[in-house]
């Protein structure tokens, strides 16, 4: 495809492309960001901003893959553009994702162009216009269809909605707007840097680095969705069969299979007795029949009653089988494992309360029993690493608690904490986790007092977040992510009195500061590996909050494992507080052929 860039002749498109190429070189050399937008109709046109440089899409691959080496940093509205490029088999090195940076700076879940734009103009989000149904009496709209901005400053809903890209000039305008927003976001990062952060100094460099790694995370999401997780269908089906039997050939056979499964439990009862095992209240009645009284029928509760009656054991086994049958069974495999042996789901780069990555299709909650089906392809290996004790280490970093940073020098940082507190390691661990989750009951009072005494800086950081959240004040993580506490629907909570709701908000805010910063650290680490692992052909196939799995050719597996470790050290060096010793981060790294072989 690069060859098409230089095709001469009197084709005006080719001439434009050659000229564009030169101008793009200039931008790359000047290290300027370049906006990229792709028209919706079969990706008919790509347009680069800054002076309206436009490149026909046939030549895009040549431009972009050349850009991998030096740059540029591609600016786009969202990773939809990255997904379009992947469909064209184009992978870029780096980007600035307006949607991701908007969610970082503003918080919340939605970051559609209309909202992103309105925010740059300080406009009320409630006033964002929506697409109006065609009105026969007001057809003569004086709005210029080539102009995306309305007189009231809002983005025209036609543009935000996606029916804008039918003409080249509009795609160019769209790219220009993207550059405007990017400039706004650069300034917004300065504003955030000026806000106080009660802990490690939150510099502009750190915030900008977070904006870049959050952008990279979106890029990774597009790639994860595109590439999928290697999954051996036949192994997966064998595992399913082990729980629920062979795949039923028709509906009638499925009914028989269900009855067989139910009979493993109901067979323990007098003949003729029947309960609907899928209804918790019926299960409760069943247990009462055999003399067991429980407030609910959750597995952990029944686990303790294994010996109380012989029906408990088969009931627990039935639950596991039912879980596989309904959620991770044949239907799940059919739905999400494609013909090329890849399990694919949707990925989001910063979802939820604190900006963790999320995934659908069971990629983040697949039962461990299914892991034998996650197999590297022939000639390939998985390189897998998980970060050890990531949350307490992140707490040490963001709060800049010197004593906790000292504890993080150890592979197991709960050991020195336990020593200082004068308690068992297990007690220290529960206490530290409890402090980060906001647990108040069930922790030894002695351990709690010890934490306050020995790590007052870290504890104060958490308490401060808790109190601010309870007061309905928004928070900002170390990396600058805004945690919205003001919105009425920002937190969904079970019904309760005012005090318990406030306490729940406090726990939410307290935890978001740690979990959110941990997510930022993880993405920074992963983005660095992605950038450095290009020559090795490193392909990420799973990101799991603190665990990263790459798929790589055999001959590069060891080098990739080394890269994981080196990138971790570099991330730790640059990510945390810069005055004093860096916080130590540790990872357990392995080269494996199957996910089940980990650890």
Partner DNA sequence: TGCGGCTATTG
Partner DNA sequence: CACAATAGCCGCAG
Q: Could you list the residues that contact DNA (CB under 7 A)?
A: 276, 278-280, 283, 296-302, 319-320, 323, 326-327, 345, 348, 351-354, 356, 358-362, 364-368, 386, 430, 433-434, 437-439, 442-443, 491, 494-495, 504, 507-508, 511-512, 515, 544-547
Q: By C-beta, is 6 or 326 nearer to DNA?
A: 326
Rank residues 54 and 571 by Cβ distance to DNA and give the closer one.
Answer: 571
Give the nearer residue to DNA in terms of CB position, either 273 or 360: 360
Ramachandran angles phi, psi of 590, nearest 5°: -150, 155
Of 190 and 259, nearer to DNA (C-beta) is: 259
Sign, CA torsion 408/412/416/421: positive
* Smallest distance from DNA to CB 429, Å: 9
What is the distance between the alpha carbons of residues 428 and 388, in angstroms, rounded to a whole number? Answer: 16
CA 72/CA 21 separation, integer angstroms: 12
Please state the φ and ψ torsions of residue 455, each to the nearest 5 degrees.
-130, 55
Decide: helix, strand or coil at residue 348: strand
Dist CA 479 CA 519 (whole Å):
10
- Minimum CB–partner distance for residue 476 and DNA (Å): 16
Q: How far is the CB of 317 from DNA (least distance, A)?
A: 10
Min dist. Cβ of residue 546 to DNA (A): 4
Cα separation, 307 vs 305, in Å, equals: 5
CB of 384 to DNA, least distance (A): 11
In the complex with DNA, the residue whose CB is nearer, 189 or 366, is 366
Find the angle CA(209)-CA(214)-CA(217) to the nearest 5 degrees: 125
* Residue 485 beta carbon to DNA: minimum distance, rounded to whole angstroms: 11
Tell me the closest approach of the beta carbon of residue 25 to DNA, in angstroms: 42
Q: Give me the DSSP letters along 38-76.
A: E-SSTT-EEEE-TTT-EEEGGGHHHHHHHHHHH---EEE
Report the nearest approach of DNA to the CB of residue 507 (Å).
Answer: 4
Are the CB atoms for 364 and 358 separated by under 8 Å? yes
User: Which residue, 342 or 364, is less far from DNA as judged by CB?
Assistant: 364
**Cα distance between the two ends of the chain:** 44
Cβ proximity to DNA: between 226 and 323 the closer is 323
Closer residue to DNA (CB): 229 or 512? 512
- Alpha-carbon distance 140 to 490, whole Å? 41
Report, in Å, the least distance between residue 467 CB and DNA. 15
Cβ proximity to DNA: between 63 and 491 the closer is 491
Residue among 29 and 276 whose Cβ is closer to DNA: 276
Helix (H) or strand (E) holding 541, with range, is: strand 539-543
* Sign (positive or negative) of CA dihedral 186, 190, 196, 200: positive
- Report residue 385: phi and psi, to 5°: -145, 145
3-state helix, strand, coil in the chain (%, to 5): 55, 10, 35
What distance in Å separates the CA atoms of residue 481 and residue 440, rounded to the nearest whole number? 26
Query: Considering beta carbons, is residue 172 or 366 the nearer one to DNA?
Result: 366
Distances (CA, A) of 285 to 323, 357, 576: 21, 40, 55
User: Which of 157, 21, 159, 163 lies closest to 77, judged by CA?
Assistant: 159
To DNA, the closest distance from the beta carbon of 314 in angstroms equals 13
Q: What is the DSSP letter of 522?
A: H
Nearer to DNA, 180 or 262 (CB): 262
Q: At what angle do helices 312-326 and 251-266 cross, to 10 degrees?
A: 160
**Contact partners, residue 299, CB within 8 Å, separation at least 6:** 316, 319
**99/515 with CB nearer DNA:** 515
| Residue among 138 and 599 whose Cβ is closer to DNA | 599
- Vertex 512, ends 412 and 118: CA angle to 5°? 145
Q: Which is nearer to DNA, 94 or 507 (CB)?
A: 507
Helices and strands (H and E) in the chain: how many: 22, 15
Provide the minimum distance between the beta carbon of 220 and DNA in the complex, in angstroms, as a whole number: 16
- Distances, alpha carbon 228 to alpha carbons 220, 341, 363, in Å: 11, 9, 10
Query: Is-contact 326 340, C-beta < 8 A?
Result: no
What is the nearest approach in angstroms of DNA to the Cβ of residue 115?
A: 19
Residue 495 beta carbon to DNA: minimum distance, rounded to whole angstroms: 6
CB of 472 to DNA, least distance (A): 15
Q: Least separation, in Å, of the C-beta of 135 and DNA?
A: 27
Helix (H, G, I), strand (E, B) or coil at 375: strand
Query: With b meaning 16 or more CB within 10 Å and e meaning fewer, what string describes 65-78?
Result: bbbeeebbbbbbbb
DSSP 493: -
DSSP code string of 310-327: TTHHHHHHHHHHHHHHHT
């Amino acid at each position: 495809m690069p060859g098409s860039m230089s095709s001469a002749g009197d084709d005006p498109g080719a001439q434009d492309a050659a000229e564009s190429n030169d101008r793009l070189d200039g931008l790359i050399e000047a290290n300027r960001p370049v906006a990229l937008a792709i028209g919706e109709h079969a990706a008919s046109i790509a347009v680069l901003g800054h002076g309206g440089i436009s490149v026909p899409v046939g030549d895009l691959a040549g431009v972009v893959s050349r850009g991998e080496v030096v740059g540029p940093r591609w600016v786009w509205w969202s990773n939809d553009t990255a997904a379009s490029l992947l469909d064209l088999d184009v992978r870029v090195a780096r980007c600035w994702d307006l949607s991701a940076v908007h969610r970082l700076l503003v918080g919340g879940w939605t970051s559609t162009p209309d909202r992103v734009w309105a925010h740059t103009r300080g406009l009320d989000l409630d006033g964002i216009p929506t697409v109006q149904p065609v009105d026969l009496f007001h057809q003569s709209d004086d709005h210029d269809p080539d102009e995306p901005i309305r007189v009231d400053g809002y983005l025209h809903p036609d543009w935000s909605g996606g029916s804008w890209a039918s003409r080249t000039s509009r795609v160019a305008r769209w790219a220009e707007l993207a550059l405007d927003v990017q400039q706004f976001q650069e300034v917004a990062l300065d504003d955030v840097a000026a806000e106080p952060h009660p802990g490690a100094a939150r510099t502009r460099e750190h915030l900008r680095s977070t904006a870049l790694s959050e952008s990279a995370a979106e890029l990774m999401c597009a790639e994860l969705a595109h590439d999928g997780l290697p999954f051996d269908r036949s192994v997966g089906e064998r595992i399913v069969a082990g729980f629920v039997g062979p795949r039923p050939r028709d509906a009638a056979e499925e009914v028989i299979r269900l009855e067989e499964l139910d009979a493993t439990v109901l067979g323990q009862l007098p003949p003729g007795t029947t309960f609907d095992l899928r209804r918790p209240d019926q299960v409760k009645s069943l247990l009462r029949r055999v003399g067991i009284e429980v407030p609910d029928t959750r597995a952990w509760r029944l686990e303790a009653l294994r010996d109380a009656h012989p029906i408990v054991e088969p009931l627990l086994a039935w639950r596991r089988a039912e879980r596989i049958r309904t959620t991770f069974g044949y239907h799940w495999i059919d739905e999400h494992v494609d013909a090329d042996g890849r399990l694919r789901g949707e990925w989001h780069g910063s979802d939820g309360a604190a900006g963790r990555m999320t995934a659908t299709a069971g990629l983040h909650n697949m039962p461990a029993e299914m892991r034998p089906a996650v197999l590297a392809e022939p000639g390939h290996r998985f390189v897998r690493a998980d970060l050890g004790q990531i949350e307490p280490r992140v707490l040490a970093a963001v709060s800049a608690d010197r004593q906790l940073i000292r504890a993080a020098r150890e592979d197991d940082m709960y050991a020195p904490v336990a020593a200082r507190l004068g308690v068992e390691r297990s007690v220290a661990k529960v206490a530290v986790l409890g402090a980060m989750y906001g647990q108040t009951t069930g922790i030894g009072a002695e351990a709690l007092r010890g934490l306050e005494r020995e790590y007052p800086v870290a504890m104060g950081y958490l308490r401060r977040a808790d109190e601010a959240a309870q007061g309905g004040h928004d928070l900002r993580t170390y990396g600058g992510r805004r945690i919205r506490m003001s919105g009425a629907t920002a937190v969904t909570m079970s019904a309760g009195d005012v005090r318990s709701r406030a306490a729940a908000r406090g726990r939410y805010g307290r935890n978001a500061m740690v979990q959110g910063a941990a997510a930022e650290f993880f993405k920074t680490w992963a983005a660095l590996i992605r950038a450095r692992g290009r020559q090795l052909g490193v392909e990420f196939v799973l990101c799991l909050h603190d665990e990263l799995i790459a798929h790589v050719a055999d001959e590069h597996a060891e080098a990739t494992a080394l890269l994981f470790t080196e990138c971790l050290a570099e991330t730790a060096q640059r990510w945390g507080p810069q005055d004093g010793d860096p916080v130590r981060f540790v990872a357990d790294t392995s080269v494996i052929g199957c996910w089940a072989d980990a650890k």
